[in-house]
A and B are shown apart, each in its own frame.
Chain A
């Protein structure tokens, strides 16, 4: 059954190298909706990535740098990208070869949908 984020997640998931795209509640790391390749552990990705994004957001604010928009973690085995609004976080897991510029643009476009669904900025 298609959810409110299905078209957005499918659009991101179509990018070469993307293995998972999820919308997660930032407070508890619970998955709201996801688009995953086989073998990706949805709950684990959601909890860890949401926790990382939350930590980055809080640290940034405490350091006087304001709210975090886009975040990207790079490791030899892949990339983790996140963008948040209205207590929802859009998380993308991708292979190292992914065109992160394209994925970032797609994720930035999705901000409005997150705000709308989350009920405010």
Chain B
């Protein structure tokens, strides 16, 4: 337990040398004392000087989680894993966040990886048990995501996001080829490749229009057709996300679904799903 002398000593050191890495232990002490705002400012400032400091990102992730900002916490721990694959704290943290959001399969994946790294960690073992129990409970309640064979099939990437009938999404690469998602016609045939190829042509016209009209890079296109509402957004690596919903779907909801699918696709492309 850090004493007030320790805090003073670390604060003095940071005041003398703003580039010091002491912001990490000092921020952690302040976090434990519940002084989240001060600790957060300190961590953000420290990371400006040390953007690749693993323990700095770990501290920031913990602070975000303490403040209930799970999404930001997730991103920070994700960064930690990029900088330091197999980082135990990040794996545990990501497992915790996924558990909080009832993403049991993901939580199990992270915690299992943590348990492999440190089999003696009783905290991880206990968390893993909780997650597995939660997963089982959700499965019994019929809320479990999908069997592994289906979850691994990229055609079903968006089923967790699009739960209503008549909603479907496609992720296309820069050549207009389908990376993930499916589009079934009235006969039950997957025509994703044709639909994707045809619709991806619209983006060239959109790019040309926004460039010449100085509107900036286009962020979404929505058009209402006789049978569907189609929404498109740029995806990473010059890809394209195409969402189709029924005509009855309110346009505001279409926009939200498009955002959620975009986030989901980005995570999948980063290997997080």
Contact = CB atoms under 8 A, between A and B. Distances in A.
A65 B226 contact: yes
Interface of B: 185, 191, 194-195, 198-199, 201-202, 204-206, 208-210, 212-228, 230, 244, 251
Interface of B is mostly: mixed
A45 B210 CA distance: 10
Nearest to A74: B220
A66 B215 CA distance: 29
B184 to A, nearest CB: 11
A59 B213 contact: no
A104 B223 CA distance: 12
A4 interface: no
Contacts, number: 108
B102 to A, nearest CB: 32
Kindly state the interface size class of chain A when it binds its partner.
20 to 34
A37 to B, nearest CB: 13
A64 B185 contact: yes
Given A44-B212, A45-B213, A59-B199, A74 B218 contact: yes
Interface of A: 44-45, 48-49, 51-52, 55-56, 59-60, 62-78, 80, 93, 101, 104
A48 B208 CA distance: 7
Contacts of A67: 225-226
Contacts of B224: 68-71
Given A63-B199, A65-B244, 17 more contacts: A44-B213, A45-B213, A51-B205, A52-B209, A55-B205, A56-B202, A56-B223, A60-B230, A64-B195, A70-B224, A71-B221, A74-B221, A74-B222, A77-B216, A80-B209, A80-B213, A104-B251
